[in-house]
Amino acid sequence: MAEFTMDLNDEQKEVRDWLHGFAADVIRPAAAEWDEREETPWPVIQEAAKIGIYSLDFYAQQFFDPTGLGIPMAMEELFWGDAGIALSIVGTGLAAVGVLANGTEEQIGTWIPQMYGDANDVKVAAFCSSEPDAGSDVASMRTRAVYDAAKDEWVLNGTKTWATNGGIANVHVVVAVVDPELGSKGHASFIVPPNTPGLSQGQKFKKHGIRASHTAEVVLEDVRVPGSCLLGGKDKLDERMARARERAKAGGGERVKNAAMATFEASRPAVGAMAVGTARAAYEEALEYARTRTQFGRPIIDNQGVAFQLADMRTQIDAARLLVWRASWMATTGKKFESAEGSMSKLFASETAKKVTGQAIQILGGNGFTREYPVERMHRDAAIYTIFEGTSEIQLLVIARTLSGLPIR
CA 187 to chain centre: 21
Query: Largest Cα–Cα distance of the chain, in whole Å?
Result: 82
Residue 103 to residue 236: CA distance in whole angstroms:
10
Residue 288 to residue 301: CA distance in whole angstroms:
9
Give the Å distances, CA to CA, from 168 to 115, 136, 200. Answer: 11, 24, 9
**Nearest residue to 174 (alpha-carbon basis) of 182, 186, 166, 184:** 166
- The 3-state DSSP class for residue 89 equals helix
> Is 389 annotated in the active site?
yes
CB of 80 closer than 8 Å to CB of 280: yes
Give the other-Cβ count within 10 Å of 163's Cβ.
28
Active-site choice (77, 254, 389, 393): 389
CB of 114 closer than 8 Å to CB of 47: no
The secondary structure of the chain in percent helix, strand, coil, rounded to multiples of 5, reads: 60, 15, 25
CB of 276 closer than 8 Å to CB of 320: yes
What single letter denotes the amino acid at residue 202?
G
Interstrand relation of 125-128 and 171-177 (parallel, antiparallel or unpaired): parallel
* DSSP line for 99-118: HHHH--HHHHHHHHHHHHEE
Give the Å distances, CA to CA, from 394 to 33, 183, 390, 400. Answer: 34, 19, 6, 10
CB of 124 closer than 8 Å to CB of 91: yes
In sequence order, the β-bridge partners of residue 126 are: 172
Residue 233 to residue 312: CA distance in whole angstroms:
51
Give the Å distances, CA to CA, from 86 to 53, 90, 206, 210, 218. Answer: 11, 6, 18, 9, 22
- The 3-state DSSP class for residue 152 equals coil
Residues labelled as active-site residues = 389
